[in-house]
Chain A
């Protein structure tokens, strides 16, 4: 599927895995960490204007609201560039959300698109049937100047998910389980296609969470075929036409995996690799100091709804700091209207404005030495959320909310 999208963007009918091609991109994305470097490099190329001021998207979301003077300077620098270049899709605080929740929500990324972003989780948009991948600042600089990027055509892995999901299990559990199965480099340089009946029955939010973490298995793309769920999601959002690509029935996959979801329990990934996946129910003796619910992986409505349904009328444990950060302003507003914010605050949680902050140990929830968090984020590397001697356990929203109440890793059944 990704091969077909790449081929269409470089004027070819067919591409062979391993080929190096230059292709036209539909959207180029950067944030407050990667954009300053991209702008510096862009200026060296000697082109005055970006290739298309509507196709460059800039979202200052990592260290915002500005966490310190240096971050403020970086944001000021990219704001200046956005104004000078008349970048239409520059999102200032107030309209800003976490980029990978914001771009789909705003209808900026569509099926059949070829997208690059200077953020590794750019692979999220594959959930819409797009070929979308993370690159570095220099790639973004060149793409802003030329509208093109170089790609190595990847091999594809197909994951066929069957069976019914157990109660509380979401896309996050499926992807943690999958990374546990294949390892953090199990899809190195490859495209991961998520397919099967269980995927067809997944919500868009769960699909985003799955594709978001393709990079955690080393993947270049995480991609799901367009279907009625995708179509419904796009209604009222897209302002330009899109193209649907389906996988060929005889597509040559490097490898196929059959996964029966009816066996998959709520998952956690223990420190310090996303591939250290285990059933949450086997980890009930692990104490936590912090619970974090949000991020580009799990800061969408479905996640807040699950968390609210568990936290409603209950209190978080005395020694657990619970931080909830809705991924966009729109999600924040909807959560307010549905009463989730009240539920969270009454349960003893803190509700933050949209930011990537805690996920990458930037701000808004840094861990001290020896502390441990359960988080619905995407990485649990050494020092990811703060001190190099702190720990992060990854989970979906249900386990994070239940653990916040129990003060240790818990599944909802233990606290409801």
Chain B
């Protein structure tokens, strides 16, 4: 799979409270959640995401609460991929479980700039920054996690493994 889009860049410790504030957690409707995604961090996110669907971030992206509403609201906003220096662990597993691609990559996250045009080859494990001409390697994903991702998320993976007994 190749993901082509522009980058939106954020800093370190982007927490789940700014991704989707708790005041909106009285629903699980994904469109409603998406309407408030990043509201307290970046008022222009909804405008930016129209033509930039790859998020680049610093350390500890998604720290804080276990709310799966956080990756869901990002996914429902149209974001195709998040590349961060590091991810908070619950956010990381939630994203994998719901089938939102997440790539830990310190060098890429450091060097890619806001607005850069990116081409990410998920199979070959290469991030290409078309704007700067740089290339970054993605560390290989453990087979088990790859299986969850290729099944389209943890629910489908579970359904498949249960039916196989």
Contact = CB atoms under 8 A, between A and B. Distances in A.
Interface of A: 20, 33-34, 36-37, 40-41, 44-47, 62-63, 67-68, 70-71, 74, 117-120, 122, 134-139, 141-142, 145-146, 150, 184-185, 188-189, 215, 218, 220, 273, 360-362, 379, 381-384, 388
A67 B23 CA distance: 11
Interface in B144-158: 144-145, 153-155, 158
B64 interface: yes
A382 B154 contact: no
Contact of B153 (A134, A135, A138, A145): A138
B60 A218 contact: yes
Contacts of A134: 66, 90
Contact of A150 (B21, B144, B162): B144
Contact of B66 (A119, A141, A145, A218): A119
B116 to A, nearest CB: 25
Contact of B63 (A36, A145, A218, A360): A218
A70 B60 CA distance: 31
Given A138-B97, A141-B155, A142-B154, A381 B23 contact: no
Given A20-B145, A218-B63, A382-B41, A139 B93 contact: yes
Say which size band chain B's interface belongs to: 35 or more
Contacts of A46: 159, 162
Interface string B15-35: 101100111011110000000
A185 B60 contact: yes
Interface string B41-70: 100000000000000000110011111110
Interface of B: 13, 15, 17-18, 21-23, 25-28, 40-41, 59-60, 63-69, 71-72, 86, 88-90, 93-94, 97-98, 142, 144-145, 153-155, 158-159, 162
A136 B97 contact: yes
Contacts of B142: 20
A63 B158 contact: no
Contacts of A68: 26
9 A-B pairs closest in CB distance: A136-B94, A70-B26, A136-B68, A138-B97, A185-B60, A360-B22, A388-B40, A120-B66, A381-B17
